[in-house]
Structure 1
Amino acid sequence: MEKSKVYFMDLRTKSGRNLIDKFNSLLIKAGIKDIDFKDKFTAIKIHFGEPGNLAYIRPNYAAEVVKLIKELGGKPFLTDSNTLYTGKRANALDHLETAYVHGFNPLTVGCHIIIADGIKGSSYREIEINGKHCKTAKIGTAIADSDIVISMNHFKGHDMTGFGGALKNLGMGSGSRGGKMEMHSASKPWIKKDECVACRACIKHCPVEAISLDEQKSADINYDKCIGCGQCVAVCKFGAALVKWDEAADIANEKIAEYALAVVKDKPNFHINFIMNVSPNCDCWSHNDVPIVPDIGIAASFDPVALDMASVDMVNNSPVAKGSELEEKHIHAGEDKFNGLYVNTDWKCSVEHGEEIGLGNRNYDLVVIN
C-alpha cells in the first residue's frame, strides 16, 4: 500500500508571517483546495472544550478554516455532538452556551454553530458499515447530513483510548448519545435507586417504553425492551440514570474507528491535528494538567489514520515536559508516552483497526512546510 502524506508545520514564525498565515499555507499545501466545496454543506467537527479546561483549540484557527472554505464556495458550520455524561455539553442549549463562552460563535469564527445530535442527543442517522463490532453507527444528524467533513482535533492523552486525535474526535465525537453508549459500554443504563425521585422524566422520554416505576416508586428498566439509547441518562436531572462504563478499552478503540469510518463514508474529508498543549487527559475533563511534551506543531492529511500515527510518533520522539505527569513517572524521550500514561490501554488498537477496515494507512510520509 502506498504511503499516505501527512503535512506538518512547526510553530516558528517571523515578521510578516504569523501562525495563521503559516496555518493557511499548511492547509493549501496539504491539498484542501482539491475538494470541491461549491455549495456543499461542510461539517467542521471540533471539540468546544469543557468549562474549566483551557486546552481546546483556539477559535482563531477555526475561523481560518471557515474563511478558506467560504472562499472556495462552501457552506461551513462548526459542530459537535452532545456528551453522554452530565455536564455543560450534555444538551444543545448548554453546549451552545459553552461554545460561545469559549469563543466559538458566528461573530468570531464566521459561521453558524450546530449541535449535531439535537437538543437531547436523540437526533441521529444510522449509517450502515457492517463492522466487526457495529453493523450500523448512530451519527449526529447534522454531521451525517453534511456533504463534506473536516475534523479539527486537539491531540492529547486519553484514559480509555490512550490518545485522542482524529479518530477519537470523528468517531466518539460524532456519535449521538446512543452511539456513545454503544462505544463506551458493553451494558445498558442502570438506575441508582436511592437517587431516583420518581419524576417520571425517563419514562416519558424512553422511546420503547422500557421504564416504569417499581413498588418502591423508583424507575426500573426492562432490559428485554431497552435498546441502550441513553435517553434516560440524558433527561435525568438527579443523577439516578447512569452509564455502566464497562467496555474493554481495545474493543472501545475498535468501535471508535468503525464510527469514524461511518462519519467519512462516501464523503470528501480532511483532517487537522493540533499537537499543542498535549495534556495527559481528554478535553472533556473540567481541568487540564501540565502538557506532557513541549508544543510540537500542526499536522494535516486526507488520511486520519496516518495523521494520528504521525502525531503519536512525534509526541513519542519529543522530550518530556518539565513538571508533567510523565516526568513524575520517569518516562523519557523515545519511550511510548501514551502507554506510560495508561498502562492498561493499548492505543495501537484504534489505528490498526482503522487500517484493517479501510479508513486509512499507518504508513506515512511526513512533508514539512516552512
Structure 2
Amino acid sequence: MNTTEVKRPVTPGVRVGQMSFVWRPWIVGVTLLLAAAAFLVFCLSISVGDFPLGLDRVIATIVGRGEQVDAFVVLDLRMPRALAGLLVGIALGVSGAITQSVARNPLASPDILGITGGATTVAVFLVTVSGGTTAAVVSSVGLSAAALAGGLGTGLLVYFLAWRRGIDGFRLILIGISVTAVMQALTTWLLATADIRDVARAQAWLVGSLDNRSWDEVRVVFWCTLVLVVVVTGAAFQFKPMHLGDDVAAGLGVRFTRVRAVLLLCAVLLAAAAVSAAGPVPFVALVAPQVAMRLARCPTPPLVASGLVGALLLIGADLLARSALPITLPVGVVTAAIGGPFLVYLLVRANLR
C-alpha cells in the first residue's frame, strides 16, 4: 500500500516539531542579556552626578556593603530616580507589547491610543485650576493618583467607542488618535487660560521627566507594575492562540473577548501608572516592543523582553540627557528624538509591504 507524505509548511530557520528547542533558548538568552544590560545602565545612572562614584562602590552599596557616605548618595539621593526610570520603562514596554499584540498593529501604543493624553489632561487640570474643591482633591489624592484615574478613564472610553461586536485593531487606533487629539486640545486650552505660574508648573510635568522623584512615587509605580505584570503573565498563556485568529481561539476554548478585555485593562493601568510617576514620556511604549520582537526573533512582541527594552531605553535616555549633552534635558525630549525617526521607519516599512 502506497502512502503519500503530506508536508507541512515550515517557517525558514525553524524545524517542525522542534520549535521550542530552537527558539526558546534564543529568547531566554536575549532576555538574560537585556536584564544584564538594564542592570548595568541602572548602576551607571546611579554613579553619575555631582559626586561621581565607581561602579564597584555603587554595587557594593546596593548589596549593603557600602560606606555611609556612599549609602546616603546612592540610596537617598539617586536610587529613587533610577528605580522610577526602571519601573516606568518596564510598565511602558509591557503596556506597548499588549496593545500592539491585541490590535495586531505595530503603531498601537498608549501614546497613540489616548491613554497618555487622558492622564496628562487630568493632571494639567488639577495643576492649573485653583479653588477650594480642586485644592482639596490635589492635597488628599495627589497628582499621581489623579493622572492614574485620568489614564484609566480615557482608556476605557477608547475601548467602548472602538467596540463593535469585538475589537478591530484599525478602528481602535483611529479612535485612539481622535481621543488623543481631543485631549491635546483640552490640555492646550487649560494652559492658555491658566495663571502663568500654574502654567510653569504644568509645563515642567508635561515634558516627561525623572527629576526629583521620591520614594512615595516609586512605591506607587512599583506595586502597580508588580501586580499588573503578574496578572498579565497569567492571562498571556490564554492569549497565545488568539494570534491565530478569533475563530481558531474560540475553537480551542479560549474566551478571547474576556482575555482581550483583561489585557487591555492591564495595559491601560500600566501606562497610566507610568505617566503618574514620570509624566508623559513619549515613544517608549511604541519602540520597546518592536525592538524586543526583532531581538527575540518572535512574530509578536515578547512581554518580558519588551519590558526590559523599555527600562533600558528609558534609563539610557535619562543617562544621556544628564551626562552626554551640553545642557541637562528632561528624559522625554531624548525619547522623542529617538522615537520620532523610529515611527517614520515603521510607517515607511508598512507602506513598502
TM-score, normalising length: structure 1: 0.22
Larger radius of gyration: 2
Higher helix content, 1 or 2: 2
Which protein is richer in strand relative to its size?
1
Task: Report the TM-score when normalising by structure 2.
Answer: 0.23
More relative contact order, 1 or 2 (CA 8 Å, 6+ apart): 2
